[in-house]
């Protein structure tokens, strides 16, 4: 039997104790029971399997016949032998734990409307990219990423976000989290493992830093953004970097004041420290002129991080770092030892999408889409006080300090099948004030969005939130 011509690969651990036939029966039962041979899987012909295992054809035939009799297999004339669609009855065991049902409506922040992914444009870009890519693109390459994408990003970020981006200083990463892992690793190895992170901010990102050996200290946020004037003082005196969201602070939605932008880069320059600029939704502006990236004013003090997760979709796992010159080699070395390189086909497709201006069209399309959603949210809330609504994909709805607690409001929402996030969970030390809800208006599919808002307004009505 030529292995190259064998039609169906079937791995079996054959124990001949008690005879080869008995061993083959046990191996097939175990493979079916463990799920390695799913229902209706077609098995190799007896002659082929006998040749593969080095046993007599009659041994395989007898084993198949026995398992057919027991109900593990079914044999059909002209169709061969298959795993039975129904597994034989097994002795009753402990009842499985009930599965947690997904929420009926999801208004938690952090995700885009994945139904807005530009499937047709992505397919066109993928075809063009694969048709012109050199054969070397499918081998191991530069840990920084494909040169086509780094060149495309340099042009796009310069004109759309005001980033000073040399392609040689761009590193393509597998999402924002990997970018944060790489920077934390480099800072830790350089002996500067303490990072300031905005308070409130995303708790998951704080945990990412801690798991890489970093230590997190809170950087307070008020209505002018991160309090950059505190950097270099008190608990913030000995930090190697600060992670900020200047264009649209997460979760409060405020924009970093110009004076604080200046203070931020001035501190980094004087302290020989690093500003990590998370520009997670920098393209989405509704009621004001776009705010340029801080990196454009201090490229040697700022590591800029952007991502395709909000404009296209998180499943692409594509993000990018624009680095100060001194950090390029350390980050590339860390990337090389983390995963060698980010997958290539998506990079080539994104490069074509940017170069063909399909990415710009997608950004404009979803920007209009999300503005309409935001406007509908404001309309349904009927003039209720809402924060952070001039940009981004979420809003902050304050709750009355004298009314139900955040936890109580979230429980009432969950009882109606509505998933929301509380402001308190974003704080470094829960229990602070004021209470509020962080409402993401991008996630629900379009057909479910009006009903999700109806459920939200009912929850807020019963919570007696301030008007």
pLDDT digits (tens, 9 = 90+) for 399-447: 988 888 899 999 999 999 999 999 999 999 988 778 899 999 999 999 9
Instruction: Give the residue extent of every domain in the chain.
Output: 3-83, 105-110+367-463, 114-356
pLDDT tier at 2, thresholds 50, 70, 90: very low
- What does residue 240 show for φ and ψ, rounded to 5 degrees? -90, -20
Q: Which two tokens stand for residue 333?
A: 């070395």
The answer to whether 276 touches 240, Cβ cutoff 8 Å, is no
Tell me what pLDDT residue 18 has. 76
Tell me what pLDDT residue 19 has. 86
What fold, for 105-110+367-463?
A: 3.90.1150
What average pLDDT does range 441-456 have in this prediction? 94
What confidence tens digit (pLDDT) does each residue in 105-124 have? 999 999 999 999 999 999 99
Pick the range with the lowest mean pLDDT from 109-113, 180-184, 330-334, 345-349.
109-113
**Is 3-83 a CATH 2.30.30.140 domain?**
no
Q: What is the mean pLDDT of the chain?
A: 91
Whole-prediction pTM = 0.85
Instruction: Report the percent of the chain where pLDDT is more than 70.
Output: 95
The answer to whether 274 touches 240, Cβ cutoff 8 Å, is yes
pLDDT tier at 91, thresholds 50, 70, 90: low
Cα–Cα distance, 48 to 63 (Å, whole number): 14
Which CATH code is given to the segment(s) 114-356? 3.40.640.10
Q: Which two tokens stand for residue 35?
A: 């799920």
Distances from the Cα of 378 to the Cα of 111, 215, 291, 308, 371, angstroms: 19, 39, 23, 27, 11
pLDDT of 3 strictly over 60 = no
């Amino acid at each position: 039997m030529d292995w190259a011509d064998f039609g169906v690969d079937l791995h079996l651990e054959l124990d001949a104790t008690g005879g080869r036939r008995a061993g083959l029966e046990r191996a097939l039962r175990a493979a079916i029971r463990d799920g390695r041979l799913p229902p209706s899987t077609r098995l190799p012909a007896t002659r082929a399997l006998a040749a593969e295992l080095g046993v007599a054809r009659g041994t395989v035939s007898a084993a198949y016949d026995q398992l057919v009799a027991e109900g593990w297999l079914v044999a059909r004339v002209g169709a061969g032998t298959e795993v039975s669609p129904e597994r034989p009855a097994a002795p009753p065991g402990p009842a499985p734990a009930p599965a947690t049902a997904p929420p009926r409506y999801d208004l938690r922040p952090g995700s885009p409307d994945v139904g807005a992914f530009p499937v047709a444009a992505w397919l066109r870009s993928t075809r063009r990219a694969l048709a012109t890519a050199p054969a070397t693109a499918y081998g191991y390459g530069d840990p920084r990423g494909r040169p086509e994408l780094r060149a495309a990003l340099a042009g796009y970020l310069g004109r759309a976000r005001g980033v000073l981006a040399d392609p040689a200083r761009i590193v393509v990463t597998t999402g924002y989290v990997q970018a944060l892992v790489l920077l934390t690793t480099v800072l830790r190895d350089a002996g500067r493992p303490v990072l300031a992170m905005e308070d409130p901010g995303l708790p998951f990102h704080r945990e990412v830093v801690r798991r890489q050996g970093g230590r997190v200290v809170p950087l307070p946020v008020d209505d002018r953004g991160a309090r950059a004037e505190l950097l270099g003082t008190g608990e913030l005196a000995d930090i190697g970097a600060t992670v900020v969201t200047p264009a649209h602070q997460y979760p409060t939605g405020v924009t970093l004041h110009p004076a604080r932008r200046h203070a931020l880069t001035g501190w980094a320059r004087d302290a020989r420290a690093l500003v990590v600029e998370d520009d997670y939704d920098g393209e989405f502006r509704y009621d004001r002129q776009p705010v340029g990236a801080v990196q454009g004013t201090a490229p040697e003090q700022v590591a800029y991080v952007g991502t395709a997760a909000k404009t296209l979709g998180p499943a692409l796992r594509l993000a990018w770092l624009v680095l100060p010159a001194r950090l390029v080699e350390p980050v590339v070395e860390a990337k090389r030892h983390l995963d060698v390189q980010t997958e290539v086909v998506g990079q080539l497709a994104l490069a074509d999408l940017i170069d063909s201006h399909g990415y710009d069209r997608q950004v404009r399309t979803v920007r209009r889409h999300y503005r309409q959603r935001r406007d509908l949210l404001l309309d349904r809330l009927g003039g209720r006080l809402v924060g952070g609504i001039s940009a981004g994909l979420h809003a902050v709805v304050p709750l009355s300090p004298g009314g139900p607690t955040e936890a109580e409001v979230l429980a009432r929402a969950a009882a109606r099948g509505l998933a929301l996030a509380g402001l308190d969970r974003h704080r470094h030390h829960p229990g602070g004030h004021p209470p509020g809800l962080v409402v993401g208006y991008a996630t629900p599919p379009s057909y479910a969005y009006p009903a999700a808002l109806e459920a939200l307004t009912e929850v807020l009505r019963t919570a007696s939130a301030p008007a």
